[in-house]
């Protein structure tokens, strides 16, 4: 028996927390359950949306179809030696809980990615990253269910086509696969990544002189908590926009006009610009409307203080895009998926 729910509110399953419901809803905890629901006549031809931690989505209207919530759990050690451990993790596991599980064992590689909201299955989807580390650095492979063939396929680092907040699952394979598990390789003798200035400062502030997986995780948690709103308290989806990457020529022209523009030169000669800086300069930071607005400490983050309408938040993002385009001639892209 497949227990499909009707006309279900999915507000609580998303970190933005805007009021939204879907025609049908089903939470699956195994590939077998997923297969059963997909074979069910009632919903077979419905539009499908896969929900993990719901941390990177904004609904501007109700979802006309079936929401499938991935609750495949479990952490399995595939192999282990003195140097490393390979873990296969159910896509429905909470990302931060998994990070803490590894931190407590002293396994290194994802400590810089502490406190990122969302699920394990979403981590390769957009190649999550923070403080100098991206998921692709520890990624081995993933299993994904092909919605057309109904078979599991394996994707490795190359076939996932990872880029900055990008993978094949956000592009050509969007909505065609359901990630069911992700396999990571972590290190027992980790090389710590403290290249991101804020981490060094935070470690000093906390009086930590001996680096450890735990110390870095604690530092990242402290930084994130001070700058980014906790979705349990204030609805949000992390960075709403991506940091744009522009040519060196365009950057030099901009820098001549705006000498302190926050930027990160890339290995291929292009330059990544801090979208948060651009938006902040335009005066958006902290702007509050009727229950929603731009976060007071980080202009890249849009926030929902009180069950605001997703469409209003979307329209705010359009106004921000337009103003950045007008002043800096840069077209920002949304990082958050809009439905």
Residues near ligand EPU (CB under 6 A): 130-131, 228, 238-239, 242-243, 262, 274, 276-277, 280, 285, 298-300, 335
b vs e for 103-114, b when ≥16 Cβ sit within 10 Å of the residue's Cβ?
A: beeebbbbbbbb
Q: Which residue is nearest to ligand EPU (CB)?
A: 238
Considering the complex, state which of residue 74 and residue 286 has its C-beta at the smaller distance from ligand EPU: 286
**Which residue lies nearer to ligand EPU by CB, 15 or 181?**
15
The DSSP result for 212-271, as a single string, is -HHHHHHHHHHHHHHHS--TTTSEE-S-SBPPPEE-HHHHHHHHHHSTT--EEE-TTS-E
Question: Is 29 a residue of the active site?
Answer: no
Which of 72/294 has CB closer to ligand EPU?
A: 294
Of the pair 96, 242, the CB lying nearest ligand EPU is at 242
Tell me how far apart the alpha carbons of residues 278 and 318 are, in angstroms, rounded to a whole number.
15
Q: In terms of DSSP bridges, do strands 139-146 and 177-187 run parallel, antiparallel, or are they unpaired?
A: antiparallel
Q: Which is nearer to ligand EPU, 112 or 308 (CB)?
A: 112
CB of 108 to ligand EPU, least distance (A): 17
**In the complex, minimum distance from the CB of residue 312 to ligand EPU, in angstroms, rounded to a whole number:** 21
DSSP letter string over 83-112?
SEEEEEEETTSBHHHHHHHHHHHT-BSSGG
Strand duo 292-294 + 302-304: pairing: antiparallel
CA dist., res. 155 & res. 144, Å (int): 8
Selecting among 165, 167, 224, 317, the annotated active-site residue is 165
Nearer to ligand EPU by Cβ, of 173 and 285: the residue is: 285
What's the min distance (Å) between Cβ of 197 and ligand EPU?
8
Residue among 91, 95, 93 at smallest CA distance from 152: 91
Spell out the residues 6+ positions from residue 23 whose beta carbon is closer than 8 angstroms to its own: 6, 7, 46, 62, 63, 64, 65, 66
Minimum CB distance to ligand EPU, residue 116 (Å) = 7
For residue 31, what is the enclosing H or E element?
helix 31-39
Q: How far is the CB of 118 from ligand EPU (least distance, A)?
A: 9
Q: Which of 93, 111, 134, 335 is flagged as catalytic?
A: 335
How near is the Cβ of 7 to ligand EPU at its closest, in Å? 31
Q: Give the span between the Cα atoms of 301 and 224, in whole angstroms.
A: 12
**What is the smallest separation between the CB atom of 23 and ligand EPU, expressed in angstroms?**
29
Q: Which residues of 251-289 are buried (b: 16+ CB within 10 A; e: fewer)?
A: beebeeeeeebebeeeeeeebbbbbbbbbbbbebbebee
Nearer to ligand EPU, 34 or 57 (CB): 57
Query: Measuring CA to CA, which residue among 123, 113, 118, 127 is closest to residue 167?
Result: 127
Closest residue by Cα to residue 303 from 244, 233, 220: 233
Residues serving a catalytic function are: 165, 239, 335
């Amino acid at each position: 028996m497949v227990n499909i729910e009707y006309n279900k509110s999915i507000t609580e399953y998303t970190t933005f927390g805007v009021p939204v419901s879907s025609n049908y809803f089903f939470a699956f905890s195994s590939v077998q359950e997923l297969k059963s629901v997909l074979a069910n006549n009632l919903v077979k031809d419905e539009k499908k949306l896969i929900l993990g931690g719901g941390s990177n989505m904004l609904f501007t209207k109700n979802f006309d179809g079936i929401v499938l919530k991935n609750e495949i759990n479990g952490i399995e050690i595939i192999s282990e030696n003195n140097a490393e451990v390979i873990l296969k993790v159910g896509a429905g596991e909470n990302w931060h809980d998994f990070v803490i599980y590894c931190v407590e064992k002293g396994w290194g590689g994802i400590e810089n990615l502490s406190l990122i909201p969302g699920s394990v299955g979403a981590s390769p989807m957009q190649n999550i990253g923070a403080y100098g580390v991206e998921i692709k650095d520890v990624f081995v492979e993933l299993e994904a269910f092909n919605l057309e063939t109904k078979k599991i396929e394996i994707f490795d680092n190359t076939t996932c086509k990872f880029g900055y907040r990008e993978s094949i699952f956000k592009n050509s394979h969007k909505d065609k696969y359901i990630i069911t598990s992700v396999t990571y390789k972590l290190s027992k003798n980790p090389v710590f990544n403290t290249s991101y200035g804020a981490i060094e400062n935070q470690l000093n502030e906390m009086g930590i002189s001996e680096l450890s997986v735990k110390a870095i995780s604690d530092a990242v948690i402290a930084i994130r908590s001070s700058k980014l709103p906790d979705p349990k308290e204030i609805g949000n989806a992390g960075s709403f926009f991506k940091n744009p990457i522009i040519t060196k020529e365009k950057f030099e022209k901009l820098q001549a006009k705006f000498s302190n523009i926050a930027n990160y030169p890339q290995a291929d000669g292009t330059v990544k610009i801090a979208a948060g800086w651009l938006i902040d300069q335009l005066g958006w930071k902290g702007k509050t409307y009727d229950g929603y607005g731009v976060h007071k400490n980080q202009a890249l983050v849009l926030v929902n203080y009180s069950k605001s309408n997703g469409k209003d938040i979307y329209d705010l993002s359009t106004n921000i895009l337009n103003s950045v385009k007008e002043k800096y001639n840069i077209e920002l892209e949304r990082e958050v998926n809009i439905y």
